[in-house]
Amino acid sequence: MRVLVFGRTGQLARAMAAAVPQGASALFLGRDEADLSDPAACARRLAGAACDVAVIAAAHTAVDHAEGEEALARRINAEAPCAIGAAAAARGLPVILLSTDYVLAGEGSAPQPPDAPTAPLSAYGRTKLAGEVALRASGARHLIVRTSWVFSGGGGNFVASMLRAGARQPVVRVVADQTGGPTPADALARAVFAGARALVAGHPGGTHHFAGAPDVTWADFARAIFAAAAMPVTVEEIATADYPTPARRPPNSRLDCTGFERAFGVVRPDWRAHLPAAVAAIRAAA
């Protein structure tokens, strides 16, 4: 199985590079080789690539910045998947797109299935949803994987932010009315490869959810981070309204991942087992 990955330096791409399964090869494309802000160039790159499946692992993920640059976010998150999908369809190649819980409104408290109504609250969510719609319309056989709260030992993520904050102050205020499943990037990488292998073997694909377990609030996730780091930091719970941001976040990011397990045999990873290694890697690199 030959996998072409759009992305090289992000959390998922780096985790995929470390988790290429036996019998597979992967080529990772950075911005210098395939800039998603140039959809036509990405399509040309795929058109000439020796691969069996393409993975769009990169995106415009600066959620708050997207509020002020939605046109750029749409070009990267929607127009590029559209162009890549069309190029893949022309060759009969399947495509995997990484998407997000932000395409959902996040209402209620139940885990949301893949067919839950989409109603994004932010520019980031709108552009990612547009990418999903465009890929489905491209004619390419595809797998859309929505995930949430990705973390790893490298790159910008909530774990790194909390460690920095805890090093500066003994009390950290963290939102406690948003709930979701923190997702270890290495587990997500293995799930993507499982999906890729299934697509290459003829799986029809579709839209699926994959996130870590158990579901937790940001505040409780922060407490677990400080405990893993043995940092004597107190987490003060606050409401979303007390921490205004340019982009609105969904209050309920719980994802029903049972369909992914049935289709690809990959269960939700326990983020608590992955957290100590991520904390250690971030602190070692500081």
Classify burial at 256, counting beta carbons within 10 Å of its beta carbon; exposed 0-12, middle 13-18, buried 19 or more: middle
Q: Which amino acid is at 62?
A: A
Q: Which amino acid is at 43?
A: A
Q: Do 214 and 274 touch, CB atoms closer than 8 A?
A: no
Q: Which of 102, 124, 210, 221 is catalytic?
A: 124
Known catalytic residue: 243? no
Q: Do 124 and 247 touch, CB atoms closer than 8 A?
A: yes
Parallel, antiparallel, or unpaired: how do β-strands 179-180 and 216-217 relate?
antiparallel
Q: At what angle do helices 271-285 and 158-168 cross, to 10 degrees?
A: 60
Q: Do 251 and 243 touch, CB atoms closer than 8 A?
A: no
User: Mind telling me the catalytic residues?
Assistant: 124
